[in-house]
Structure 1
Amino acid sequence: MHGLGWTDLLGLWLHFSLLSLLAVGGAITTAPDMQRYLVGQQGWMSDAQFTAGVAIAQAAPGPNILFVAVMGWHVAGVAGVLATMAGIMGPSSVLAFAVGRYGRRRADSIALRAFTAGLTPLTLGLLLSTGWVLTAPVRSEWVAALLVLGTVLASVRTRVSPMWLIAAGAVAGALALQPG
């Protein structure tokens, strides 16, 4: 279990269960708090390991929630994967099922539509916070800042697929790693 005891695993599961209920817009929106907990509070990962884990998981084919499994694996192997994935998926799945049933019965409700519309700015704020945390390791480098700004502008102003932007970022990163 990578040196973690049962109480640590329980704490990991409880923390990710709480994040599950806050993950409006997907689990990635809670990455800043995952980083705070795993890196800052517990010291189980470094900032660079956290950022690399998110980047690798997001670049890999499959569901976006894969990064949660990567965090769990890094912290405590298979037990960590089970704790983080059960935590992040369990409570929100039960809540989504219940709210979905409620929403289908009251689809014309003004209150329900207002609530749904109110989630949009919350989701955008959480995504911006995630972007801020993930750019921390390279934020002081002007080239990286330009790449981030260019990616954001391309996402907002064009209909270019995000996959092309990810590919361009991978090429830029690979070129930066090539010896001189």
Structure 2
Amino acid sequence: MTSSVFSRSIEVFKAFLLLGLSSFGGPIAHLGYFRTEFVEKRKWLDEKSYADLVALTQFLPGPASSQVGFALGLMRGGPLGAAAAWTAFTLPSAIILILFALGAAVMEGPVGSGIIHGLKIVAVAIVAHAVWGMARSLCPDRERASIALGAVLIVVLSAGPLGQVAAIAAGGLAGLWLTRNMADQYADDLHFPVSRTAGILCLTLFVVLLLGLPLLTLVFPIQSLAVFDSFYRAGSLVFGGGHVVLPLLEAGVVQPGWVTPDQFLAGYGAAQAVPGPLFTFAAYLGWVLEPLPNGPAGAAIALAAIFVPGFLLLVGVLPFWNSFRKMASAQALMRGANAAVVGVLGAALYKPVWTSAILGPYEFALALTGFILLETWKAPSWMVVIVCALGGLVISLV
């Protein structure tokens, strides 16, 4: 291993650790944090390349924001960088939820609820900042602005994460029709140290595990294997990630009697108050489930199993991504899909981000303060998190 690869992996770990400690607000907000940190601040990739990557992950099952983070780490520091990005972004919330499972005190009372509400408000500022910046770059004309508006309408009028996938698919088709003759500045290639052979192996392994694990659990009724199978299926069959995985997890751990309904709901409530990906809820479930394995072994199995399928799919697709993006029709499709991504983010800015956080003029003023800090003062995201958390505390006490 060269010192350059190692130093870049350390850089990736530090960057994502800070995000893992401060990225409140769910997957849509995480994409805003990533854009601020890696497009604006660190300039690891340009706006169009980032939007392309976001669009790709929206089409794949799994935790979209974690897949974007994994890909950014892979691009910057190779496989070690990808592992560093996932570890640093995931472990803080997983550890907090495990502490909750052990009975540690969580945010309660007016002080805790005020801080939590402030963390919801910071998501408004982060997502608004991302939508504003991406719209200027990716919707510079009336055709793409119209595609973004159409994506908003599709998401608003549909229910569930499939509406987001449908909006981006419709945006891509509209891009083929409306933007095929545009002379645009295309995104730079995204360079990932993954061969086509490795990509095909990852796609094959994804399918083999998805189809083979249920059969193995029938032949070998081992509880640890059943736990891995349950969480692997949850991570394989969900689009959009986040809250969408909850019904699959409930079916996988509550219905067999491994976790009680009260334990499940308590853990879900705690997961809303922590930064990082909601998929780390799996660590809590793995810790409390019965029978063995539980505790550290159960948490490790559940956490690995729920993330593995999304990463296998991502690594499997990445080697073919640049070739696809160079095709003239693909470029038009991606122009439309990227405009639709802006619309999807804009719809999410209203619901659930805005509707769950902005309850009155004080919350609006605090969110606007966070937006101005990001947009005009170029303040780092962690500083805006602190400002909004303290502001939420003040609002709850006055």
TM over 0.5: yes
TM-score (norm 2): 0.38
Structure 1's 37 and 134: CA in aligned 2 closer, same or farther, altered over 3 A? same
The match for 1:102 among 90, 105, 112 is 105
Structure 1's 35 and 116: CA in aligned 2 closer, same or farther, altered over 3 A? closer
Structure 1's 63 and 34: CA in aligned 2 closer, same or farther, altered over 3 A? closer
Q: Which runs of 4+ in 1 moved over 4 A?
A: 1-4, 40-43, 153-156
Structure 1's 99 and 22: CA in aligned 2 closer, same or farther, altered over 3 A? farther
Q: Deviations over 1:20-63 (max 9, x none)?
A: 11110135424344334434554432332222112211221112
CA contact (8 A) 2:154 2:166 kept: no
Q: Counterpart amino acid of 2:63?
A: P
Q: Deviations over 1:76-110 (max 9, x none)?
A: 3211211111111122322344467312xx74x22
Gaps of 5+ in 2: 182-398
CA RMSD for the aligned pairs?
Answer: 3.1
Structure 1's 29 and 2: CA in aligned 2 closer, same or farther, altered over 3 A? farther
Count of residue pairs the alignment pairs up: 176
Structure 1's 32 and 60: CA in aligned 2 closer, same or farther, altered over 3 A? same
**1:108-127 alignment runs, 5 A limit:** 109-127=109-127
1 or 2 for the larger relative contact order (CA 8 Å, sep ≥6)?
Answer: 2
CA contact (8 A) 1:29 1:127 kept: yes
Pick the structure with greater CA Rg.
2
User: How far apart, in 1, do the equivalents of 2:133 and 2:4 lie?
Assistant: 26
Deviates more, 1:15-24 or 1:134-143: 134-143
Deviates more, 1:30-39 or 1:121-130: 30-39
Structure 1's 177 and 153: CA in aligned 2 closer, same or farther, altered over 3 A? closer
Q: Which residue of the partner structure matches residue 24 of structure 2? A: 24
Deviation at 1:3, TM superposition (A): 9.3
Q: Which residue of the partner structure matches residue 60 of structure 1? A: 60
Deviates more, 1:127-136 or 1:85-94: 127-136
Structure 1's 115 and 153: CA in aligned 2 closer, same or farther, altered over 3 A? farther
Q: Deviations over 1:119-156 (max 9, x none)?
A: 32222222223333444541212222233234335545
Percent identity between matched residues is 21
Structure 1's 91 and 133: CA in aligned 2 closer, same or farther, altered over 3 A? farther
Q: Which residue of the partner structure matches residue 85 of structure 2? A: 84
Q: Counterpart amino acid of 2:130?
A: T
User: How far apart, in 1, do the equivalents of 2:81 and 2:143 lie?
Assistant: 36
